[in-house]
Structure 1
């Protein structure tokens, strides 16, 4: 069971309520971006294995050479800062897996001088054919694939999740996107080996009467906040995973 967190406080909640590892990112409200080296160091000190999302900008996963070079440098940086693995992905304009870009990112991880796990992130869910993309990920020797089965939520993508697991033997398929603790039995039945939850709730607002939007236009005061890791959701997910494993 992996929990997505944005800092050490979330990592401590994940650790204390049964997570096996965390995925660290910044800007979770944007789908996640690469965190700072200092953030990686402080989260690694919490004690759980930390897999770091390496994504240099929001938006699509079609990256220019300069962006791929930047992300390769970020891969090396986060691993040097204590990450146990990296979470990466890149597509071509026609929706195929960008093999040269993925090879550069994987090479950066493998040349870091320390063992590193490599996860293909949910770029697969924007690919033209998630099952074919999973097979290519297996050929690249990646550790795992994080996917919703190409659907808005993982529980909506059960059939594709099962096909992805069959297409990528030897690769851990991890279901993510809108996963709730009650979904765990159905996801396990589809053949996934792990689940990924953000287990998030909005932080309470602590503003005075004056409020000026600082993010997207039209964002309300209640929406213009950050997320916290919810301990009850993490604990419920742990119980659900343990029930499947028994």
Structure 2
């Protein structure tokens, strides 16, 4: 495929962005693989923004045969971590790599809203010490930073592979201008668009120059209960909402078709 390129960039071939799907189970990884994903990001607690999965879950998903990048996030909430939390995530990085992860997804901020370069460097170093070939992605903590574009400019010096971001907007489709700016300043670091992303957003995101698109492609699972329902936690607002998310094959397939149409159109 050839194209006109982004404003200010020369015309020429436009590489097809990679397709990454967020999954929470081996079944989700199988769905992603069967319907055209290039890799998966594995986590638990997708409804909480994602948390570190167990070693056993990483092993099971790695056995599916698709590259697995594992989110390392020790708790929900903000991305400002103390020394004990950072040390825990350093250990989690080593654990998930030993369990078969081909990449890790990390991040940390300072209380002032800057990138916590000390914590990020520790986490990235632990990944590379475990396996030099492991890819390291900065997660959407960057979207909560005081200046996502300025933060993106820091990434080439940290030895990261890519950054997952909505461009600091509520959704990636709303963050196009800032995503394009991040592509410009993060030389050598892949910018992956994600956050409320729909397959229909993909053409505009690809035109902005992103190297990959990330979708949760999720739907609520049908509850499988054998008795009456009672609330068990703050998130259990209703019987219909008290379930988990699964990967929707139709959304993955639509994203793949959209990407392929850019390649062949």
| Conserved 8 A contact 1:151-1:157 | yes
Residue 141 of structure 1 and its aligned partner are, at CA, apart by 1.5
Q: Which structure is larger by alpha-carbon Rg, 1 or 2?
A: 2
Q: Secondary structure at the match of 1:101?
A: helix
Residue 208 of structure 1 and its aligned partner are, at CA, apart by 4.4
| Match of residue 201, structure 2, among 183, 192, 205 | 183
Is 2:28 the partner of 1:13? no
Give the match for residue 216 of structure 2. Answer: 198
Aligned residues: 246
In structure 2, do the counterparts of structure 1 residues 229 and 217 end up closer, same or farther at CA, with 3 Å as the change threshold?
closer
Q: Secondary structure at the match of 1:92?
A: coil
| Match of residue 160, structure 2, among 101, 122, 142 | 142
Give the match for residue 91 of structure 1. Answer: 109
| Conserved 8 A contact 2:236-2:242 | no
Output the CA distance in 2 between the equivalents of 1:173 and 1:26. Answer: 23
Q: Secondary structure at the match of 2:130?
A: coil
Output the CA distance in 2 between the equivalents of 1:243 and 1:157. Answer: 23
What is the RMSD of the two structures over their aligned residues, measured on CA atoms? 1.0
Residue 138 of structure 1 and its aligned partner are, at CA, apart by 1.7
| Match of residue 101, structure 1, among 115, 119, 129 | 119
Output the CA distance in 2 between the equivalents of 1:203 and 1:17. Answer: 19
TM-score by length of 1: 0.98
Unpaired runs of at least 5, structure 1: none
Output the CA distance in 1 between the equivalents of 2:180 and 2:234. Answer: 37
Give the match for residue 43 of structure 1. Answer: 61
Q: Secondary structure at the match of 1:111?
A: helix
Q: Secondary structure at the match of 2:197?
A: coil
